[in-house]
Structure formats: structure tokens, C-alpha cells
Amino acid sequence: MTERFLAHIEDELAGIAADGLLKTERPIKGKQRARIDVGGREVLNLCANNYLGLADHPELAEAAEAALEESGYGMASVRFICGTGELHAALEARLAGYLGMEDAILFAACFDANGGVFEPLFGPEDAIISDALNHASLIDGIRLCKAKRYRYRTNDMADLEAQLIAARDARFRIIVTDGVFSMDGTIANLPEITRLAEVHDAMTLVDDCHATGFMGPRGAGTHAHYGVEVTLLTGTLGKALGGAMGGYVAGPTPLIAMLRQRARPYLFSNALPPAVVAASLRALDLVEAGDDLRAQLFENAAYWRAGLEARGFTLLPGAHPIIPVMLGEAQRAQDMAARLFELGVYVSGFFYPVVPKGQARIRTQMNAALTRADLDFGLAAFEQAGRELGVLAAAASRT
């Protein structure tokens, strides 16, 4: 049986490779910076979630080192046995205050937070109305819940209202959306979502992984960006807040209390290492005072977007630091990424099933640590690769 199963999996992998969809990984040596060492080559990194450039910040390393010395390597326990340290309680309180919520609960990752938030709170009598492009972790978490499931077209408020009406007989209803859709850089229409929630007596949950730290006043997220209130927020410590690991759910105290009692990823996963928690506390200090970093981030995003558009690349509209370069075919995205690596730029091609078929792309991401010289270097490499591979063939014929 085992040999037959292994042969089956090998056939599956061969099929993936034949379709040009085999994903690869390149080990990075050293720190996550604007320029990184990959296989002995220094390349410009344009695909990290390191939005504020804090991943290698010396103050975070110092905070982690001090916690390692004082509290050890790990807690060797789940939270409810003997895994809750003073640092964990402090970070949960700090996150809640930063996000403008009553309480917060930590998870090993936001994937775990999204996987654990629905099942303890909602049952068969309830309804979850979810955006069609929500992150896989939200989709999986909703599947684990027995609530009725409704889906609306991305940012389509008329369809959202239709689904709310279709679910009107449910005991409780909650609208679930990414704050920023990670593949497109599109920001959810929270003003209209929260208005419809009020009209139809529904709650709201926003996954703010690609917003916390840099969207809105103090970087508090998409709800702060729009000045609206939501019921629950989920998010990560692994992107703008230092880039390590950890996730959270923030919201009303009774809901967070129920998650502490019933959320399985919380109950059955080890507590976050003290070094990560201490560094995250320091990261929040830097982020709250980081208006200069946020300004640099969005200045870089505007410059990069304008440069790509001027060279003839097809982009999705927006102003977020996620700036996808649309290429259509999976093989073209892979070829473009490979050629850019040869030219000294590190990016990844995204294709089905990560994005819909026919919408393959290279998702570039800006961060505050990138200099103007870095961006000009990247733009020149994109232009060269684009012309060589025929992506900019039409533009080249006009010059």
C-alpha cells in the first residue's frame, strides 16, 4: 500500500511539474533585508512582507536576546497549563489597546487564529457571509464550523446585501473579509460593509494581516484607515510587526474569553517563545511611532507603481504596497521571475491555485527600507526582462 501511494504522489508531482506549476524555494543566508544573500548572490528582495523594514531591526534583536536570557528558549507548554508568561499577557493587552479593541488572544500564527475563531463561536443556527477571495486560512476556518456558509463576489456590496438577505433567518450572522486582499492589494470596502452589517443586524470580522502596522493612523489597520468599527480583527506578528511569527484575534472580552476556552489551535499549541513575544512588544512601540516609516513605504509604493506603468507593464489599480505585475500565463510568470533573479532581483511567480487560472503574476511588495537606488535598479531589471521575454513587446515596437 505504501509503495503504491508513494507512486501515486510521484505521478501527481510529475503532473504539476509538466503543467509548469511546481513551486520552488531558495534558501536565504543571513538577515531579511532589502538586499539578501541567496545562494551566494546578493539580490534585491521585492517580495517580502517586511513592509516597514523591521525584520532586522537591532532593537528587536536586543529585546529578543534579553527575553531569551531571562525567560529561556520556550515555554514547553500550552497556555492553559503552564505556558502563559507575563510577556504573553502584556502583549495581548498591548495589542488590544493598539487596535482599539477590548481584548486580544495570541495564536502561533494567523492561520491558526483564523482556523480557530469560528468553530467556538458559531453553530448550525448561524450564518457566515464570506468574500470570495478571502485568504485560505479563513476558508479553512469557516469549513471547520457548522454554521451555514454564504459567499459574495469580492467587494461587491450588492451581492453582499443579497447574501445577507438570503441568510436573514439565521440566529447570528457575521460578514468575513480580508482587510487587504493579499494577491491583488485591493482594500476591502469597510465603510459599506459595516453599514450593511448595521442595517442587517450582522457582525463583522476582518483579517488585517496585510494592513496592521502601516494602514491608517498609527498603522492600526484598515478599520482605522476608514474610521469604522468592526466586531473582530485577526492579524499577524509575522509581517509589518517584525516579521517573525504569531497571530491574534482581537475583539469584545466575552468573545475572546470563549476562544480561550474552546479555540483548539490555542488550547493545543505551545505558547509563543518569549523572545518572539518580547520583540513583538518592542515592534509595537516602533510601529506606533513610525509615521516616517509609513510615509517612506507609501512613497516607495507610488514611485514603483509609476515606474512600472511608465514602462508598459499591466498592473492592478490601487495604492497599497502590494503591486502585482499581471502576466497571465503560469510559465511566463516563472520565466520572468527566473530572468529577474539572474538580473539581481528576487521575486516569485504566482499562479493557480494561488490565483485564478489565467491571472498569473509577479506580486511585488514595497517596504520602507528600499532606497530610490534600489527601486531604480529593480525597474531597470524589470524592463530588461520584460523586453527579452516579450512581455513588453508591444511597447518595444513603439520605440
Over residues 4-29, the pLDDT tens digits come to: 999 999 988 887 776 655 667 788 89
Say if residue 177's pLDDT is above 90.
yes
Q: For the residues 136-140, what does the mean pLDDT come to? A: 97
Say if residue 309's pLDDT is above 50.
yes
pLDDT score recorded for residue 22: 60
What is the per-residue DSSP string for 235-288?
EESSSSS-SS--EEEEE-HHHHHHHHHH-HHHHTSBPPPHHHHHHHHHHHHHHH
Q: For the residues 327-347, what does the mean pLDDT come to? A: 94
pLDDT score recorded for residue 19: 61
pLDDT score recorded for residue 387: 96
Percent of the chain whose predicted confidence (pLDDT) is above 90: 88
pLDDT score recorded for residue 399: 40
Cα–Cα distance, 96 to 106 (Å, whole number): 11
pLDDT band per the 50, 70, 90 thresholds, residue 396: very low
Provide the terminal-to-terminal Cα distance of the chain, rounded to the nearest Å.
61
Catalytic residue numbers read 182, 210, 239
pLDDT score recorded for residue 13: 86
Q: Is residue 162 packed enough to be buried (19+ CB in 10 Å), middle (13-18) or exposed (0-12)?
A: middle
DSSP summary character for residue 155: T
Residue with cell 502583549: 91
pLDDT digits (tens, 9 = 90+) for 210-261: 999 999 999 999 999 999 999 999 999 999 999 999 999 999 999 999 999 9
pLDDT score recorded for residue 397: 40
pLDDT score recorded for residue 15: 77
Q: What nine digits make up the cell of 219?
A: 498603522
Residue 326's SS3 state is strand
Which among 53, 18, 88 has a CA at the least distance from the CA of 248? 88
pLDDT digits (tens, 9 = 90+) for 38-72: 989 999 999 999 999 999 999 999 999 999 999 99
pLDDT score recorded for residue 394: 42
- Rounded alpha-carbon distances, angstroms, from residue 342 to 22, 273, 381: 19, 38, 9
Span of 11-15, 85-89, 209-213, 308-312 with lowest mean pLDDT: 11-15
pLDDT band per the 50, 70, 90 thresholds, residue 355: confident
